[in-house]
Amino acid sequence: MALTWSAFKNLTRELLSGSEASDALYVEAAAQWVIASARRELGGDLDGSREHQKLYRQSRRMLAGYNHTGNDAAIQTAVKVRLAEGPRTNEAVTRYTVEYVKAYLARELEHDIALHDSFMKSADARRMRLLGFNTTLNLADLETAVKLWIPIDATRANTDTIITAAVALAKQEVEAIGPYVDSLILQGIADIEAFKTFVDELIRLAVIDLQTSFPVYRTGQETVYEYADVALDGYANRLALPDAATLRKAWLVYYDEDADECGRCDLNWVPFEDAHERLILNDTCEPLFSAEPAGGLVYVTPQLEDTKTKIALKWDGIRLSYSDGDTTTLDEPEARAVAAFVNWQISLKPPHNDLAREGPRLEVEYRRMKRKLWAEQQERMTALA
């Protein structure tokens, strides 16, 4: 059974995603994006960032055909809950602030940049543990808690003032984590959705490859033109065939109030040398069509007047693009081959370097699926002979 382009894409996406795709996996992918970004940007931990990027890409691949059931706000909430898993207390905020203050003191009192950098590195590591956590400490309580860890040295001038300033700055850093995490979550969602668009483009390229390889996929293409898709040339509708297409048949297609197809009317062929007189200059209600000998432009009467009537053309050739409602000659066997093509192509594209070693195997799998399609087509042709 041939599928519409939308149904074929959805089937291929499901094959790519498998049974593991879920809201929980979507949230986990977004969380891995946040952790990878924060490790790189807040902690300077490039190795840790790369490891979480790998986990993110693995999750994202399984989401190629999955749509989260919630909106962006619901996803943000779920991701922050995931990031806040484990023991997170106000003491964690205090310990981060202590390391921050120590770094500040090392720079302002000791003028020791190396010691400052060491404490800041420790502070950054502790700040990573605050992703998704909202502290209830106010500035005064935080300063009091910090001073229990860092006794005031009465012999050093301005120590108390420096600590107060450093605590205020550290609290600003803590408070900035929430908006920062929110922005990273939205970036992760955008990247997941962009990857799905990338997968859709690979699906289109795979279908083009099948059409190029097998003549059977180049026959019986159908394109439906709506009122907005046609131009007027005199009294005729003028529409364009895809490049190098051979026109086979044409219909007027009628739709009911629910936009469901309810009938078709065959269009009668008119030789192109008569098209100008019989279609373009003639205000006729006859269902007629004509086409340029070399393909390209097609002329149809009567004129379309609303969205309840459309024009369908059947043609042979390589189809480069589809609309969701277009009828295809594709079904589940083709979807499995296309899914193999998509997996192979993903392995070749940066930054999927962790999949590069799988590339040769995935290419072999795609070519095996193509051979299987060819064998099935030969069997069908033999049975019809």
Helix (H) or strand (E) holding 340: helix 332-348
pLDDT of 123 reads: 85
**Total Cβ atoms within 10 A of residue 320:** 12
Report yes or no: 162 and 109 within 8 Å, Cβ to Cβ. Answer: yes
* Residues near 152 by beta carbon (within 8 Å), at least 6 away in sequence: 159, 160, 163
With b for 16 or more beta-carbon neighbours within 10 A and e for fewer, the 126-143 pattern comes to bbbbbbbbebebeeeebb
pLDDT of 264 reads: 92
Is residue 263 classed as helix, strand or coil in its secondary structure? strand
Residue 299 lies in a domain: yes
pLDDT of 278 reads: 94
Instruction: Please state, in angstroms and rounded to a whole number, the distance separating the CA atoms of residues 109 and 158.
Output: 9
Residue 333 lies in a domain: no
Residue 186 has pLDDT above 90, yes or no: yes
Tell me the average pLDDT across 183-188.
93
Average pLDDT over all residues of the chain: 87
pLDDT of 281 reads: 94
Residue 19 has pLDDT above 80, yes or no: no
Nearest to 181 by CA among 274, 75, 256: 75
Residue 336 lies in a domain: no
Nearest to 237 by CA among 293, 281, 280: 280
Nearest to 199 by CA among 380, 379, 21: 21
Crossing angle of helices 159-213/46-61, nearest 10°?
A: 40
Query: pLDDT (tens digit, 9 = 90+) per residue, 208-245?
Result: 999 999 988 888 888 889 888 899 999 999 999 888 88
**Counting every residue, how long is the chain?**
385
| pLDDT band at 72; cut points 50, 70, 90 | confident
Residue 69 has pLDDT above 90, yes or no: no
> Checking DSSP bridges between strand 309-316 and strand 297-301, what pairing results, if any?
unpaired
| pLDDT band at 258; cut points 50, 70, 90 | confident
Tell me the average pLDDT across 126-150.
82
Residue 151 lies in a domain: no
Residue 255 lies in a domain: yes
Tell me the average pLDDT across 120-141.
81
Residue 9 lies in a domain: no
pLDDT of 154 reads: 54
* Residues near 264 by beta carbon (within 8 Å), at least 6 away in sequence: 251, 252, 253, 254, 312
Query: pLDDT (tens digit, 9 = 90+) per residue, 166-175?
Result: 889 988 888 8
Q: What is the span of the domain harbouring residue 282?
A: 221-316
pLDDT of 273 reads: 94
Residue 305 lies in a domain: yes
The model scores a pTM over 0.85: no
pLDDT of 70 reads: 81
pLDDT of 152 reads: 66
Residue 139 has pLDDT above 80, yes or no: yes
Report yes or no: 174 and 95 within 8 Å, Cβ to Cβ. Answer: no
Weakest mean pLDDT among 3-12, 18-27, 85-94:
85-94
Query: pLDDT (tens digit, 9 = 90+) per residue, 282-313?
Result: 998 899 999 998 778 999 999 998 888 999 99
pLDDT of 347 reads: 83
Q: How many domains does the chain have?
A: 1
Residue 323 has pLDDT above 60, yes or no: yes
pLDDT of 306 reads: 82
> Checking DSSP bridges between strand 268-269 and strand 288-291, what pairing results, if any?
parallel
Residue 287 lies in a domain: yes
Instruction: Please state, in angstroms and rounded to a whole number, the distance separating the CA atoms of residues 137 and 246.
Output: 73
pLDDT of 359 reads: 80
| pLDDT band at 352; cut points 50, 70, 90 | low
Residue 370 has pLDDT above 90, yes or no: yes
Q: Residue for token digits 């930054």?
A: 351
pLDDT of 259 reads: 79
| pLDDT band at 380; cut points 50, 70, 90 | confident
